[in-house]
Structure 1
Amino acid sequence: MTLALICCGGTIDTVYTNDAGFHGIGEPAAVEAFVRAGVVAPTITSLIRKDSKDMDDADRASVVAAVHSCSATQVIVTHGTDTMAQTACAVASSIKEKTVVFVGAFLPAACKNSDADFNLGFALAAVQTLPAGVYIAMNGRLLPATAAVKNYAAGRFEMAKN
């Protein structure tokens, strides 16, 4: 398998402590999810540990560089959902020869009813079957990165309306 996993933080990696209201970005949740599922470990890079609202153009450039420089032709990028589409579009504008799937979660992987494991499994299947391009895989929806928008009211990603 020529698969790489690039982790950028976001809700999927959010952890809570006993301190009321305190949270932070922990270790990449995808690693444990893949171990639980018996997935052969891909190359893993913990690139950024930020809430995606705090990501800037320099962070997006780091993601583009990491995708470009990895030897894998299939890449999963875990990312917070608030700016996932922005980062995915930045990657799509410069990476053409790889299959890149962005994925995250609306609830942290550490939460009982999280969508994280489902989304990660969906992204893993997608990255292995799709042609080269950049996609967003969330909650059973697979969208081209350049056409995906987050619908905050509905709590999902969907196709942008022209």
Structure 2
Amino acid sequence: MLLLATGGTIDKVYGLRGELEIGPPAAAALLAAAGIEISIESILSKDSLTLTDVDRATIVNHVRSRQATKLLITHGTDTMTDTAAALLESGVVADRTVVLTGAMRPASMIGSDAAFNLGAAIIAARTLPAGVYIVMHGTVFAANAVAKSHSAGRFVPVSH
């Protein structure tokens, strides 16, 4: 299994000025605390609201170029569904299981959902068939059947 870190809320830390900024991949500390060894590659360090189509292509190309068939992607929640759609459209996941997850509160904060979401995403990546999924709040969503509800503060299923 391989984890690709792209930034987002999960990786935010307080900077010297007291403002939240993207720090190193939080997954490294979360996995170490749980005694889980998964290779981590930091490929972007951005808030998901600033991700561009070029950034999404970078993510797709990293998935395409890796040998791993089970991949986790930590990602900001605001545009996680856009990246999931790009992965689906690329066809790169025909023989791979790709799970995107993140956090509504930074891993560095008390009360964060980061560890829970990451743990659930690991289980999902290890057990689900090939495809693209989003795992948040203890729920596995098909990548094309989920949206972030800002009013509810969580991801919700949608039908097309």
Please give the TM-score of this superposition, normalised by the length of structure 1. Answer: 0.94
Identity of aligned residues (%): 46
Q: Render the CA deviation track for 1:65-124: whole Å, top value 9, x for unaligned.
A: 011111100000000000000001111122211000000000000001000000000000
Output the amino acid matched with 2:158. A
Q: Which residue number in structure 1 is paired with residue 103 of structure 2?
A: 105
Q: CA deviation at 1:18?
A: 4.7
5+ residue gaps, structure 1, are none
Distance in 2 between the 1:83 and 1:157 partners? 12
Q: Render the CA deviation track for 1:27-57: whole Å, top value 9, x for unaligned.
A: 00001100000112x2211000000000010
Q: Which residue number in structure 2 is paired with residue 45 of structure 1?
A: 41
Say how many residue pairs are matched.
Answer: 158
Q: Which residue number in structure 2 is paired with residue 131 of structure 1?
A: 129
Identify which range, 69-78 or 152-161, moves more after superposition.
152-161
Q: Which residue number in structure 1 is paired with residue 65 of structure 2?
A: 69
Distance in 2 between the 1:153 and 1:18 partners? 31
Distance in 2 between the 1:160 and 1:61 partners? 25
SS in 2 for 1:120: helix
Q: CA deviation at 1:161?
A: 3.9
Q: Which residue number in structure 2 is paired with residue 34 of structure 1?
A: 31
Give the alignment's Cα RMSD to 1 decimal.
1.0
Output the amino acid matched with 1:17. G
Q: Which residue number in structure 1 is paired with residue 17 of structure 2?
A: 19
5+ residue gaps, structure 2, are none
Q: CA deviation at 1:160?
A: 1.8
Q: Which residue number in structure 1 is paired with residue 74 of structure 2?
A: 78
